[in-house]
Amino acid sequence: MDIINLKDNPKLYYVGGVVRDELLGRESLDVDIVYEGNAIEDCTSLGEVVRINPDFGTIRVKIQGREVDIASTRTERYDHKGHLPQVEKIGCSLKEDVLRRDFTVNSLYKSVATGEILDFTGGLEDLKNKKLRVLHDKSFVDDPTRIIRALKFSHRFGFALEENTFRLQREYLKNINYDMCYKRIKKELIETLGLNSDEVFQKFINEKIYKLVTPKDVKLLSVKIEPLVNKYAKISENIWLIYVGVLRDLSRLELTRKEQKILDDFSELEDFEFRNDFEIYRAFEDKEIESVILYAVLKEEKIARHYLENLREIKIEITGKDLENIGFKPSPKYKEIFDFVLAKKLENPKMTLADEISCVKENFGD
Ligand code: ATP
Ligand code: MG
């Protein structure tokens, strides 16, 4: 992970995930670097400046074609619990900077110049014991997104919440202040439930982490979501919504139009009483795949599976052109004919185009 040009600077430190991951022998998703001091004042000469954010004291520089984010050490205060913190001081000591972090294992610093590791919070010990530990008792009250982050990290590394941290989580979830920043909650939900894991989901429900989203009670359901996603929606960017959709009440999350459509499509399906395959096919064919899986989970797994496994691929081949050739003038009757052929083909999927044409002639001929 070494970025050569920065090595001369003794005030630069790798921090957070990148240090943790290296100690665990894992690839890092991104690199966080912190400068002990004011990075905006002191780090512009390290490379071409791409972006500066004075409110947070962060700077992005391009070094040898690679963009690197450098944060100033800073202290933060949570005047408005559950919302973005106020930056108090930019350019503090590392010892002060560490206090704003989430878990001890995410609070290790590694000197870019010497490789020395600085551990102010017992992170190395917790890393060894596979424990997630908050830095102080008000941590979840300040920022409840950390509860979802803990779920994410515990799954990724097989870590457990340390006892007191678990107690603090339970206490917070019994007494949630719903006036919080749901944009951040949503971002963590996307990352965490997007991992497509029934194990994560089980914890999400059983530990009542879902209460961050809705005060309503929710029970774990018997249908497993993970295999359904693996089979039918592996590349969906809305996997998280299949899991969180189980809560039904997502009013706090400010869904995008596409996300809302997934829930609306599901509601539409939920209201149907299906009498035959034709009705199932017509109801499901234009619905989002995530909505179909939600239907399997929340309503009738059998019907959704029947659609996905047996009906979905069936398509009639006959076209308007074929009908014209048989002698039908274009008219609304075409729809009736197509529906009829589809209903027959759902009963007998082996029908060829020739079979479909005969079927029309037999049933709609003079
Ligand atoms: P990942 O591998 O997912 O990137 P990470 O630990 O690097 O894990 P980031 O979201 O990149 O996580 O954040 C970088 C660091 O910033 C964290 O390691 C942690 O020290 C701090 N941090 C991030 N989010 C929070 C938060 N909500 N509260 C406190 N500290 C946080
Ligand atoms: Mg990171």
pLDDT tens digits, 38-47: 999 999 988 8
Stretch 42-70: mean pLDDT, rounded?
A: 92
Residue 191 CA: which ligand 1 atom is closest?
Answer: 3
Q: Give pLDDT tens digits for 110-165.
A: 999 999 999 999 999 999 999 999 999 999 999 999 999 999 999 999 999 999 99
SS3 54: coil
- Measured in angstroms, how far is the CA atom of residue 17 from the centroid of ligand 1? 6
- Measured in angstroms, how far is the CA atom of residue 22 from the centroid of ligand 1? 15
The total number of residues shown for the chain amounts to 366
The pLDDT > 70 percentage for the chain reads: 99
Report in angstroms the alpha-carbon separations of 130 from 116, 122, 189, 206.
22, 12, 23, 21
Around ligand 1, the residues with Cβ closer than 6 Å are 16-17, 29-30, 32, 100-102, 106-107, 143, 145-146, 149
pLDDT at 49: 94
Q: Give pLDDT tens digits for 14-32.
A: 999 999 999 999 998 888 9
Q: What is the overall mean pLDDT for the chain?
A: 96
Stretch 266-286: mean pLDDT, rounded?
A: 97
With a cut of 80, say whether residue 4 has pLDDT above it.
no
Atom 1 of ligand 1: nearest residue by CA position: 17
- Measured in angstroms, how far is the CA atom of residue 139 from the centroid of ligand 1? 14
Pocket test for ligand 1, best of 32, 34, 78, 139 (most atoms within 8 A of CB): 32
The pairing of strands 33-35 and 66-72 is parallel
pLDDT at 5: 73
Which pLDDT band, with edges at 50, 70 and 90, does 359 fall under? very high
- Distance in angstroms between the alpha carbons of the first and the last residue of the chain: 78
CB atoms within 10 A of CB 258: 12
pTM for the predicted model, two decimal places: 0.94
With a cut of 80, say whether residue 3 has pLDDT above it.
no
pLDDT at 21: 97
Residue 18 CA: which ligand 1 atom is closest?
Answer: 7
Alpha helices in the chain (DSSP H): 17-24, 39-42, 94-97, 123-128, 139-142, 145-157, 163-174, 182-193, 198-206, 225-232, 239-245, 257-270, 277-284, 289-298, 301-306, 320-326, 333-347, 353-364
> CA-to-CA distance for 210 and 272, rounded, in angstroms?
28
Answer yes or no: are the C-beta atoms of 262 and 294 closer than 8 Å. Answer: yes
Q: Relative to the alpha carbon of 185, which ligand is closest?
A: 1
- Measured in angstroms, how far is the CA atom of residue 104 from the centroid of ligand 1? 11
Q: Which amino acid is at 336?
A: E
Residue 16 CA: which ligand 1 atom is closest?
Answer: 18
Higher pLDDT, 7 or 18: 18
CB atoms within 10 A of CB 48: 11
- Measured in angstroms, how far is the CA atom of residue 16 from the centroid of ligand 1? 6
Q: Give pLDDT tens digits for 172-225.
A: 999 999 999 999 999 999 999 999 999 999 999 999 999 999 999 999 989 999
Residue 184 CA: which ligand 1 atom is closest?
Answer: 27
Q: Relative to the alpha carbon of 74, which ligand is closest?
A: 1
Stretch 284-305: mean pLDDT, rounded?
A: 97
Residue 152 CA: which ligand 1 atom is closest?
Answer: 3
Residue 107 CA: which ligand 1 atom is closest?
Answer: 20
- Measured in angstroms, how far is the CA atom of residue 9 from the centroid of ligand 1? 23
Got the DSSP string for 110-177? EETTT--EEESSSHHHHHHTTEE-BSSTTHHHH-THHHHHHHHHHHHHT-EE-HHHHHHHHHHHHS--
Which pLDDT band, with edges at 50, 70 and 90, does 65 fall under? confident
Stretch 305-331: mean pLDDT, rounded?
A: 96
pLDDT at 29: 81
Answer yes or no: are the C-beta atoms of 176 and 169 closer than 8 Å. Answer: no
Which pLDDT band, with edges at 50, 70 and 90, does 11 fall under? very high
**Dihedral of the alpha carbons of 256, 150, 34, 10, in degrees to the nearest 10:** -160
Q: Relative to the alpha carbon of 76, which ligand is closest?
A: 1
- Measured in angstroms, how far is the CA atom of residue 127 from the centroid of ligand 2? 16
Q: Give pLDDT tens digits for 243-271.
A: 999 999 999 999 999 999 999 999 999 99
